[in-house]
Structure 1
Amino acid sequence: MASFQRQKAQRLARADASRKGAVDEGAAAVVQLLNERARFCTTSSCSGRLVLMQSSAADTNSCEIQKKDCRWLMVTHETCAKDDVLAALEKSTGDVVLKFEPFVLHVLCQELQDAQLLHSVAINSGFRNSGITVGRGGKVMMAVRSTHCLEVPLTHQGKLLVSEEYIEFLVHIANGKMEENTRRIDRFYKGLELALATSTSVSSSAEGREKSHPVYLHRRKRRTSQEQDVHTPPEDHSEDSRPEEDTENSFDIFAEVLT
């Protein structure tokens, strides 16, 4: 537990490495809610965005946002208008794709049961591509993801491939996805708030029961230990001396239900 708290403190002390340099406004409430809890630490997030991405940047001195060998002609975390897209496309000199990327959140969890709680809330909120990764060293990472993406090519070598009417249609679809994305974030926040409060209440009640029945717990533990000594064959005690099988560095648990 102390090790997790040190790791959390170190992560939260780092400067924000994103281009924006801060958490998106749409994700800030969820991030704050989790980081206020001792058992969770957010490592990255995006509230969702609409992007016009050009696959090859002709002007390397451009002030446009760069992403490796790509150039973002437009990026917004809110809904947009057809004219915004058309204005950005005027700067196109290569192959441009319109993309909608939904909310994503990565959370480092103290224990697997903590990640399972987040996973359950995420699935119930509509983020059906969420999953849990457990590393070989015991690091538990929870990823909140969705499947309602959009990716459509609009230009090739700077030439517009579709009509303005079609762009207007795409913008309407993308804005609808952005609005649904916002609703899912809101459901996730409310569900998470309730689940965390319930989990804390249950943990406190269980701790109180244990403190009020110390003799019973002592006897139960002693009886369980005696039963194990009776029913466990002597050769089974050699299990710990076997070399650990080095099969995989990690395993993933992913939701298979797709929208």
Structure 2
Amino acid sequence: MAAENTFRQWKKQCLSKMDFSKKGNVDEHILHIVGFINESKSYFTTSSCSGRIILIDGICDSPDVQKQNCSWLFVTHSKCEKKDVMSGVERACGDAVFKFEPFVLHVQCKRLEDAQLLHSVAINAGFRNSGITVGKKGKIIMAVRSTHCLEVPLSHKGHVLVNEQYIDFLVEVANKKMEENQRRIERFYCCLQSAVAAENSLCMNTDATTDKSTYTRRRRRTQDKAPKASSQSPEDAV
């Protein structure tokens, strides 16, 4: 009971916090998934991204283009167009990197069994880089992740390294990955609905069996305690 109360408190605190992500809200393509998970008593989401195609202008000679000093030249959570990528590359002053990042979802789970159920759903839907972590305070986090990423440098110190034909090719590859990403998201949602429904049905049947067993035991104890009828006939009692 204490663990359940703690989980409820964590959930309330997390879902009431402001969204400090760059976008500021949940991506439209996964609103149904996030809503479904957060309505469950066993789960709540801590972060998410439906998948995106981005062009980042990083610092020259920096080993990590995702540092705070980098700027986003272009981003979309749907398929992209070549003109948008070209426009972004032309504005780059440092090392521009074109990336596709697939759907990612972090979910805190009440029990390890709940995390294992979600992990199975994710793997079956094609998110084969998914995993479970358990924190020091007992927080169980299930991360839904995929491996079909893309990351390509397009410029260095503001100088474009590739021609327009290659950018055409990259856009085509990234858009195909986005299409596959969206198919996996829908598979994940369908599998999740089925798995949760099956789990709830199993729990209801288990509870019903437990209640019936408890009733039977109580009835037997009541019968055992009841006074037994005398085997004497009226004549013998006189």
1:135: how far off?
1.7
Q: What corresponds to 1:253 in structure 2?
A: none
C-alpha distance in structure 2 between counterparts of 1:124 and 1:77, whole Å: 23
Ranges in structure 1 where 5+ consecutive residues have no aligned partner:
58-65, 219-259
1:87: how far off?
1.0
C-alpha distance in structure 1 between counterparts of 2:67 and 2:20, whole Å: 13
Ranges in structure 2 where 5+ consecutive residues have no aligned partner:
61-65, 219-238
Give TM-score, length-normalised by structure 2. Answer: 0.85
The aligned amino acid for 1:76 is: T
1:137: how far off?
2.4
C-alpha distance in structure 1 between counterparts of 2:143 and 2:80, whole Å: 27
C-alpha distance in structure 1 between counterparts of 2:217 and 2:7, whole Å: 28
Q: What corresponds to 2:206 in structure 1?
A: 206
User: Which protein has the larger Cα radius of gyration, Structure 1 or Structure 2?
Assistant: 2
Distance change (3 Å), C-alpha of 1:136 and 1:182: same
Q: CA RMSD in A?
A: 1.6
C-alpha distance in structure 1 between counterparts of 2:217 and 2:121, whole Å: 33
C-alpha distance in structure 2 between counterparts of 1:67 and 1:198, whole Å: 44
- The answer to whether the aligner puts 1:28 opposite 2:31 as a matched pair is yes
Q: What corresponds to 1:81 in structure 2?
A: 81
C-alpha distance in structure 2 between counterparts of 1:205 and 1:179, whole Å: 40
Structural mapping, 1:44-59, within 5 Å: 44-56=47-59
- Post-superposition Cα deviations, 1:156-215, rounded to whole Å, max 9, x if no partner, equal 111111110010000000000001000000000010011001100000000100110127
What secondary structure sits across from 1:162 in the alignment? coil
Q: What corresponds to 2:175 in structure 1?
A: 175
Distance change (3 Å), C-alpha of 1:217 and 1:39: farther
The aligned amino acid for 1:3 is: T
C-alpha distance in structure 1 between counterparts of 2:120 and 2:199, whole Å: 13
Contact conserved, 1:56 with 1:71, CA < 8 A, in 2? no
Contact conserved, 1:210 with 1:217, CA < 8 A, in 2? no
Identity %: 54
- Post-superposition Cα deviations, 1:109-135, rounded to whole Å, max 9, x if no partner, equal 000000000000000000000000012
C-alpha distance in structure 1 between counterparts of 2:97 and 2:25, whole Å: 26
The aligned amino acid for 2:18 is: A
The aligned amino acid for 2:5 is: A
Greater CA drift, 30-39 or 48-57? 48-57
The aligned amino acid for 2:100 is: F
Structural mapping, 1:1-259, within 5 Å: 1-56=4-59, 68-214=68-214
What secondary structure sits across from 1:93 in the alignment? coil
**How many pairs align?**
210
- Post-superposition Cα deviations, 1:45-75, rounded to whole Å, max 9, x if no partner, equal 0000001011129xxxxxxxx9602111001
Give TM-score, length-normalised by structure 1. Answer: 0.78
The aligned amino acid for 2:212 is: S
State the 4+ residue runs in structure 1 displaced beyond 3 angstroms: 215-218
